[in-house]
């Protein structure tokens, strides 16, 4: 579990860095926030990270566009259900395409664009309750490493001061 969590966290950070590198204005916003909060401290703590709201939006947008798990773990329907106009019989194995869900243009304005600002003042979170944004899954099979990954990614972005 630890190895899986570190690899997916590293990949998420790489995607975020790549997206920021492609968007100098967004990179500048992230740099300014980190510099404002961290100033000249030699180390940071969770209180510092908690003040970095824009950086959290960058993380959410990176997870939206580039989820570490693009296809969910398989699930089996317990009863017959109708989902999106499709009849799905009981005992059917179902996979969700997380990548497609999180890029749905019916839900997300400019769905293919890296736009961290979409999460400013938004209650959308990746706790599995907002079904158009489920980078860690939802329900009983929610990713057990979500909190580890979230904290590790936030600290990794802040510690890359040379980039930010």
Q: What is the pLDDT along the chain (164 residues), one digit of tens a residue?
A: 555 555 677 788 889 999 999 999 999 999 999 899 988 887 777 788 889 999 989 989 999 999 888 888 888 899 999 988 999 999 999 888 989 999 999 999 999 999 999 999 988 877 767 778 877 777 766 665 666 666 666 655 555 554 55
- Any domain includes 73: no
What range does the domain containing 35 cover? 2-68+109-159
The pair of three-digit structure tokens given for residue 3, joined into one six-digit string: 């190895």
- On whether residue 75 sits in a domain, the answer given is no
DSSP 83: E
Q: What is the pTM of this model?
A: 0.80
76 inside domain: no
Is residue 126 domain-resident?
yes
Task: Evaluate whether residue 85 is within a structural domain.
Answer: no
**Structural domains counted in the chain:** 1
Residue 141 lies in a domain: yes
User: Is residue 124 domain-resident?
Assistant: yes
Residue 42 lies in a domain: yes
C-alpha to C-alpha distances, 45 to 38, 48, 65, 124, 153, nearest whole angstrom:
9, 5, 28, 25, 14
Those residues whose C-beta lies under 8 Å from the C-beta of residue 153, and which sit 6 or more positions away, are 9, 12, 13, 16, 59
């Amino acid at each position: 579990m630890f190895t899986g969590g570190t690899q997916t966290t590293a990949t998420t950070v790489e995607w975020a860095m790549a997206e920021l590198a492609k968007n100098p204005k967004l990179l500048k916003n992230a740099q300014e926030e980190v510099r404002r909060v961290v100033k000249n401290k030699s180390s940071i703590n969770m209180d510092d990270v908690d003040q970095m709201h824009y950086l959290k939006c960058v993380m959410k947008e990176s997870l939206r566009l580039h989820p570490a798990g693009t296809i969910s773990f398989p699930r089996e329907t317990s009863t017959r259900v109708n989902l999106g106009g499709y009849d799905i019989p009981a005992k059917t194995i179902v996979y969700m395409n997380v990548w497609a869900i999180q890029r749905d243009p019916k839900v997300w304005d400019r769905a293919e664009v890296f736009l961290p600002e979409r999460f400013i003042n938004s209650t959308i979170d990746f706790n599995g309750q907002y079904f158009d944004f489920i980078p860690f899954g939802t329900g009983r099979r929610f990713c057990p490493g979500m909190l580890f990954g979230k904290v590790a990614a936030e600290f990794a972005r802040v510690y890359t001061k040379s980039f930010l």
